Chains A and B, each alone.
Chain A
Amino acid sequence: MRLHQLEVTAFGPFATTVEVDFDALADGGLFLLCGPTGAGKSSILDAVCFALYGGVPGDRNDARHLRSDGAPPERSPRVRLETTLSGRRFRLTRSPAWDRPKKRGAGTTREQASVLVEERVDGSWTHLTGRLDEAGHLVGRLLGMTMSQFCQVVMLPQGDFQRFLKARADDRQQLLHSIFRAGRYADVEAWLRDHRLVLRRTSLAEQAGLADLVSRLSEAGSSTPPDEPVFDVPEGGFDVDALRTWAASLASDARAARVAAEAAVAPAELASDAASDALTAARTLAGAQARHADALRRHDELAHRAEAVAEARQRRDDARRAAPVRGLLTARTRALAGLERAAVAEADAMAGLGAEAHEATGMLSLDLGPPRLDLPTLRAGLENAVARRHRCSAARADDRELESLRRAARDRDDEIGRVRRQHDEALAALAALPERIVALRTEVAAATEAQTGARAALERCREVEVRLEAARSHEKLLARMSEARADHQDAVARHQAARETLLDLRERRLEGMAAEIAGQLASGGSCPVCGSCDHPHPARPAAGAPDARVERDAVRAVDTAAVTEQAYAGNVRDLTGEVAAARQAAEEQTVEHWRSVLAETRAAADDLGGRASGLDDLTRRLEQAEARLGSLQAEVADDDRTATRLAAEQTAGAARIRDLERRLTVLLSGEGARTLAEALTALASAEQRWRSAVEAAEAHERAGAAADEAHTAALEAAAEAGFDDLAAVESATLPSAEVDRLEADLRTHDDAVAATTQALADPDLIAAAQQPAPALGALEQAARDAAAVLAARRSGASVAASTAQRLGRLASDLVSALDAWLPTRASYDVADRVATLAAGSSADNRLRMRLSAYVVAWRLAQVVEAANVRLAPMTGRRYALEQSTATTGAGRGGLGLQVRDEWSGELRDPATLSGGETFVVSLALALGLADVVTSESAADGEGTDVDTLFVDEGFGSLDPDTLDDVMDTLDALRDGGRVVGVVSHVAELRTRIPVQLHVTPDRAGSRVALVHDG
């Protein structure tokens, strides 16, 4: 961090803008900020800190009042710093929060803290950010320090410089951790830990695979692995080589077994084949022998049956001949039966006719049985019956009409009764109505009158109100007028006074006119009065004499007063007019009068209004009553008309009824029935009987003819077939089924005979019959045994083959898995060792120190070493810093600091040092810290660089010799290109440090001046 320019406005004690050129100050490598107390020396450093971090170091940060009190209220406080951080040039402009006076209105408004960060890129300033949080983040990252750390390392503030020296180990660790970026080593620790975990998981996963393979192998090979291997330890709890040999041996054993099993199969095959061949031959022989014996037996059977067979043959031939005739015979029988039936039917029909038949023939019914009528007679009787029925059907229509007329007459009677009743009711109602109508009319008239009266009363009320209003306004106007009059009087008085003043002034002016003229005299000019150019004793104006200007003012005053007076006079006139108008409108009566009148009128209006309220209702009722009267009257007339009509209809209907009744009676008597329906029924049945009789006679005739024909045909056919008569045909007939059966039997018999003859002639069968019977049972058993042995041998061979294959595959898998796992184990070992070492938990770690803690302790050791280099000359080699080696838990050892007094060899706690000693030691520490930080950043290529250091006071606590030594040390710093800024009031330093920035207080804020002093 190297500072270039600082510009401070209205900040701290600087009311105006001051500029500090750090480049010029840094020329000498060492510069001094001096000035009297309270001038603002520390404020320069505060401004630098504020520009970087937005806060000031030390106690002043708590008081939030950074703006200068001496600055004018509208000047905004601002700090602008140009600096180089990590090789990049920045310009930071910051403004604290302050209360700005409002642009409009009174009071202040709070202007918030702001920041602007720009970077110089290619010669011009580019905007980086304007946000407080981003700026803080940027600065923190570039400097590698927070503000409090900055104040411990770079800016040793007043009274606070010893904080690092006296800090507790924890705080120191944080600072070192942050400055030296030990976070990176914490990341390394975490990375190693994760790496180890990953490898552990991989190793265990691979071992799980191994375990699985081993169990499958042991199951397939039925053998447990040697030494009970364990597979859940990452480093592996088993002997790799033993497993390998075990797997190989299993595989080779399985292979040998398979070979043996396969060898045993072949001989069993041969034995089984031989046994089955023998069995087959024996079976064939036995079969031939059986067939021969069977044929012999059948032949004997057939011979016994020869006679019966011949008889059956004969019967069959006869039946064949008689078959065709049979049909005709059957037809003849049927025709004869038909004839008989027709004759019976005809007799029945005749009987049914009964009485009618007798009538037709004119014969008496003398129990001679049913008469036999011939066909034409029957036909005539039928025609007669049909005609009579038709006549009765026609009479049915008349009957229906009669019924309907009767019903209509009954209805009309009812109607007439009803109409009469209605008429009587209407008449009764009509009697009462006219009286009521009259009463209603009277009431309506009264109410209408009351309404009219109420309207008039309201009108009058309104008039009275107007009057009342007029009386009120009259009173108000009177009041105003008296006021206006008074004003007018005043105005008149003032006018008068002004006029008098003017007159007075004019008089006085005239009196002093001489002086005025004298005043206008130009030297050397002639006098307007006497013409002389010599003015020995010109008049002098009296004190307080008015001149033209004063008179003009007085004239103006008079005019103004006159105008005012006229205005008021106009006012009075207007009001007078208004008053007169109001009085007239109120008819010269008072407000009270009108009020009482209004009350009376209102009361009357209300009363009338009440009376008129029921008007609408009454009107409606009257209308209703009148309407009802009209309707009733109409109704009565209507009923009369209806009754008359109905009576006429009734008379006409009765005449027609009588006519129809007469016609029907005539007809029925002719038929001998009481009702028409009866007659119709009887006639219909008679007709039916006649018809059936006719049909039966016709049928009988036809049947006779057919029977004769059939008989003739049958006789002819029988003679053709060779039978004597029909009876012979009858007996020879056999059902066709029987004939077929006989045919079949004959055929079967013939076939059997042929077969047996052939079998007996076969030579093979003859030969086989001559040989002994074979022992089939024993041969069968032998064949079965041989087959069983073969099957067993075959299955054994296949099992052995599959086992050998599986074992071989598993063994090779296991070997390859073991090979794959070995490198994993090796890596895990390495990772485990390194990770536990870095985390401080390994047994190998003698110091029990984590990597990040070690780095921090190591850095602190570097810092202490560098500090001691500076400390030795400053204390005459008496004091040296030492790192305390005590570990304070959690492997955070070695961060304590102690001071060793070389002369007594004792260790002292830094808290026991005196003020001056503390200052010297802290300064040495700060310088050592800066040295180490710079060299580290140079090596890494990243990190903070601390080119500038500030020491704020503290030199006053040193004795002159020590001060000398300290100054020598600071002088030596210049060699490294570092810049040290010292704030001190010690006079000695002003001579030792030539480059100085004087800060002087001033009424208008402090000023700074760059001075080269010797």
Chain B
Amino acid sequence: MRILHTSDWHLGRSFHRADLLGDQAAYVDHLLEVVASEEVDLVVVAGDVYDRALPPVDAVRLADETFARLAASRARVVVTSGNHDSARRLGFGSRLMDAAGVHVRTDPASVGTPVVVDDAHGPVAVYGLPYLDPDAVREPWGLTSRSHEAALGAAMARVRADLAGRGARSVVLAHAFVAGAQPSESERDISVGGVQRVPTSVFEGVDYVALGHLHAPHTLDERIRYSGSPLAYSFSEAAQVKGSWLVDLAADGVVATTFVPAPVPRPLARLRGTLADLLADPGLAEHEGAWVQATLTDDVRPRQPMEQLQQRFPHTLVLAFEPTTTLPGTPVARPAAGRSAHDVTLDFVAEVRGLGATAEEAALLASACEACTGDRDADRENGPEAVAG
């Protein structure tokens, strides 16, 4: 059985205020092409179909079209909800859609019930685990601790229980932060009780685990992978190659995977240098059409930097400044927080006078600070006379 593993579409997401719907539509086209050309039997989408619980209308339209086309294609589809989706909204009409071959699994109650897809070698039980909020499933499943690990553990227990009775090959879709992988800037923090990671041991006994949530394609294990997002959603992903996994599930459950890169409608570029350099350097010509994140190192902040940059790089999205030297006019490095009152007075002297305090001056300031600590309403016992004498 050939499985196409993709996830984290984030339909409707904007990239630093730039609209990506067109690029996302292009990816959908690519996806359907791959399904057709590679003869994919099963497409699994492991969560985060939409970017928001209430997606914009255009995104819904795109998703509708995508599912329709997938349903019309030769592949079956299993979709689960991620932490960005609203499980209920995404799961609308899921029972009705099952008949069309698009299986949307967003209800935690359906965790132990697989979608059985038959291939030449037998049935494959596809368990779609939606994103499980530990707080939400704690009551119904009677979890003892409040963590993703506990939730996923309980879910996997059900899966294993069902699988034991079935004896088929198994594919599990899950949406979690599994230990061993690196996050990028664009994932939302899902830590509960301070912990968000789940160990890989949770997924014992499954032939292939299609993970979603992280946007970089990770291989944690031969059979446990992240597909990553189809498009770059933050500049930290600029170096990543985006795409989906093509997984061949053999009769004995061994998997052989190939990475299918996705088209890059517009590349990302991270530039650094002075404004003049960036504008003049001919070596940067290849980035003129890319999404640009520019870090200007000018000592003096240039005027209208964005406007100037956008003249050469019209898709400059992010501007940052890292001057190499600190200017004398700007305030000196402010004293860090958590300094005692005496230190503050010494800093004050150094700042307003330019020279630090001498030993006697420091001693005098110390006595002044000591005399003035404490409750302002209480009587003062040490007056200046005591020190002057």
> A: which residues have CB within 8 A of B?
28, 183-185, 187-188, 191-192, 194-195, 197-199, 202, 826-827, 830-831, 833-834, 837-838, 840, 842, 844-847, 849, 851, 854-855, 858, 861-862, 865, 876-878, 885, 902-905, 932, 935-936, 938-940, 960-961, 964, 968, 971-972, 974, 987-988, 990-992, 994-995, 1012-1014
Nearest CB of chain B from residue A641's CB, rounded to whole Å: 115
* A845 CB contact (under 8 Å) in B320, B352, B373: B352
A94 to B107, CA, bound (A): 46
B52 touches A988 (CB 8 A): yes
How many chain B residues have a CB neighbour from A under 8 Å?
62
A723 to B338, CA, bound (A): 154
A185 to B278, CA, bound (A): 48
A202 to B373, CA, bound (A): 26
A809 to B57, CA, bound (A): 106
13 residue pairs of the A-B complex, CB under 8 angstroms, read A191-B371, A191-B372, A876-B17, A876-B318, A904-B305, A935-B338, A936-B337, A939-B338, A960-B52, A988-B54, A990-B53, A995-B135, A1014-B133
A195 touches B14 (CB 8 A): no
B135 touches A830 (CB 8 A): no
**18 new A-B pairs (CB below 8 Å) besides A192-B368, A195-B384?**
A184-B373, A188-B341, A188-B365, A191-B371, A191-B372, A195-B387, A199-B388, A834-B349, A838-B345, A845-B352, A846-B352, A902-B320, A905-B302, A905-B303, A905-B305, A939-B338, A939-B340, A960-B56
Nearest opposing residue in chain A for B337, CB measure: A935
A837 touches B321 (CB 8 A): no
A862 touches B337 (CB 8 A): yes
CB-CB contacts below 8 Å: B47-61 with A: 52-54, 56
Nearest opposing residue in chain B for A187, CB measure: B372
Contacts of B133 in A (CB 8 A): 994, 1012, 1014
* Contact flag A987-B345 (CB < 8 Å), given A198-B385, A876-B318: no
B345 touches A188 (CB 8 A): yes
Nearest opposing residue in chain A for B318, CB measure: A877
* Contact flag A830-B361 (CB < 8 Å), given A903-B305, A938-B338, A1012-B136: yes
A831 touches B372 (CB 8 A): no
* A902 CB contact (under 8 Å) in B53, B321, B357, B364: B321
CB-CB contacts below 8 Å: B121-155 with A: 133, 135-136
Nearest CB of chain A from residue B185's CB, rounded to whole Å: 9
B189 interfacial contact with A, CB 8 Å = yes
Contacts of A28 in B (CB 8 A): 135, 192
B16 interfacial contact with A, CB 8 Å = yes
The 10 closest A-B pairs by CB, nearest first: A939-B338, A903-B306, A991-B53, A195-B384, A187-B372, A935-B337, A194-B384, A1014-B133, A1012-B135, A1014-B136
* A877 CB contact (under 8 Å) in B305, B307, B320: B320
A905 to B301, CA, bound (A): 7
Nearest CB of chain B from residue A334's CB, rounded to whole Å: 114
* B348 CB contact (under 8 Å) in A183, A854, A861, A904: A854
Contacts of A904 in B (CB 8 A): 303-307
* Contact flag A961-B337 (CB < 8 Å), given A28-B135, A855-B348: no
Nearest CB of chain B from residue A146's CB, rounded to whole Å: 15
B369 interfacial contact with A, CB 8 Å = yes
B369 touches A188 (CB 8 A): yes
* A833 CB contact (under 8 Å) in B345, B352, B361: B361
A198 touches B189 (CB 8 A): no
A877 touches B384 (CB 8 A): no
A903 to B337, CA, bound (A): 30
A914 to B338, CA, bound (A): 35
B388 touches A992 (CB 8 A): no
B285 interfacial contact with A, CB 8 Å = no
Contacts of B53 in A (CB 8 A): 987-988, 990-992
* Contact flag A188-B334 (CB < 8 Å), given A195-B364, A837-B353, A1014-B87: no
Nearest opposing residue in chain B for A885, CB measure: B331
Nearest opposing residue in chain B for A939, CB measure: B338
A834 touches B351 (CB 8 A): no
Nearest CB of chain A from residue B159's CB, rounded to whole Å: 20
B301 touches A844 (CB 8 A): no
B86 interfacial contact with A, CB 8 Å = yes
Contacts of A826 in B (CB 8 A): 360
B328 interfacial contact with A, CB 8 Å = no
